[in-house]
Amino acid sequence: MGAAVAVLAVAVGAAWLVRDGAARGRPDRADGVGDWRVVHDAFAVDDDWMGGPQLLVADPDGCYVGFGRDGLSTGYWAGEGDCLRSTVVTPQRFTGGDGIGGEDRNSVLSAVPAHGGGYLAITRHTFHGDAYAYETAIVRGDGAPGGWRTVAQFDADAGEDPFASHVGPLALAATEEGYVAVGRHNDRPLAWLSTDGQRWRAVDLPTPPGARSTGVDAVAAAPDGRLVAVGTSARRDAHYTILSWLSADGGRTWRRGTVPDPGGDPQLPVLVHDGRRFVALGGANGDVRGPALVLTSADGTSWQREETDARMLTSATVLPGGTVVAVSSTGETRDTDETGGTRECAAAWLRSPGGSWSREELGCDGVPTSLTPLHDGRVAAVHWTTLFVRRAPTPAGSPR
């Protein structure tokens, strides 16, 4: 996988974004609301249309690594210095696909730090010209230019049309024994197990009798090794309900949990473990401006619904003390000053280990798609090329 490198230079309120020696974009306005600072154009891209990181993963020896796309190509960014700067690593332009390249898309769905160093990520190539079928791969890299390679591929079986198939994982978690991923092979919800990230073994996830459509959306590991996955299922002519699966043996066998039926069209794209319990977050009706849906479980089997005033929660992370930080749209928009379009306004929601919720405003620069804690107590979040950074908590009695 070839790569070209660009360096992003940011100095608050003064410097211009410099790429390849030329001025680009506009000055960093250092916008922010409350404890959150917003750095515009924090991730350099060649293609401004939906370019930039979609995921941020903490770097224990530095800031973060960003995973996303630049045009049709998969892209990687590494935070530097005070974590308001980054280096972008962009592979060679994508030229494959189904012959309708302008309708194809590449994306990064999930990423984790790899055992032995570097990172493991799930990438997907979607054939937009062929009923949104897709193919999925696992890449491994160390964040350096040219340091990324495909180590596994998930393909349609013999006799299946690859341009009409939906095959591969979409969420990934690291375990003591290796890795577990969850996703589907067409109509079958699956978990995949691997000790090295290269060789994967598929395991069926049990489905309800009579289910016509079952999908799995997220997976998380508890400190004691338990694994939980969540998804949705529906019988013919019935609404979707939430499903959960628990594995106590590293993913080799799974059993279904007991989840309350919220009605409507629920979605739970986010699943974390806060050190005490599993917390699943999403929306009650599939509308990003609709009400949030939050479920919690101490044992991974029995789930309870938790009330919050948030709208649909679309991404989250866990701080070292167990506080969950999640984000949502506020339901409002603001006109941009560049294109005449609009940007979604967002809020951060903090759930304490005791279950209380508080809200922090993020302004109107889009809803972050990923959050990660930084080594110094701050939180970083991203919406395409916009970086959000939350200040570290101030010790009691110290001046702010």
Tokens of 82: 């005070």
Which SS3 state, helix, strand or coil, does residue 361 take?
strand
pLDDT digits (tens, 9 = 90+) for 343-360: 899 999 999 999 999 999
- For 43, residues 6+ apart whose C-beta sits below 8 A from its C-beta are 8, 52, 53, 66, 68, 77, 86, 88, 382, 384, 385, 387
Sign of CA dihedral 158, 160, 163, 169: negative
pLDDT: which is higher, 219 or 265: 219
Res 29 pLDDT > 50: no
pLDDT of residue 341: 67
How many whole angstroms separate alpha carbon 170 and alpha carbon 183?
5
For residue 389, give both structure tokens. Answer: 């950074």
Contact 227, 272 (CB under 8 A): no
pLDDT tens by residue, 314-344: 999 999 999 999 999 999 988 766 555 678 9
> Among candidates 48, 43, 37, which has minimal Cα distance to 85?
43
Task: Please write the tens of the pLDDT for every residue from 60-107.
Answer: 888 999 998 887 777 889 999 999 989 876 554 444 444 444 456 778
pLDDT over threshold 70, residue 45: yes
Indicate whether 159 pLDDT > 80. Answer: yes
Rounded CA-CA distance 15/21 in Å is 13
* pTM given for the model: 0.86
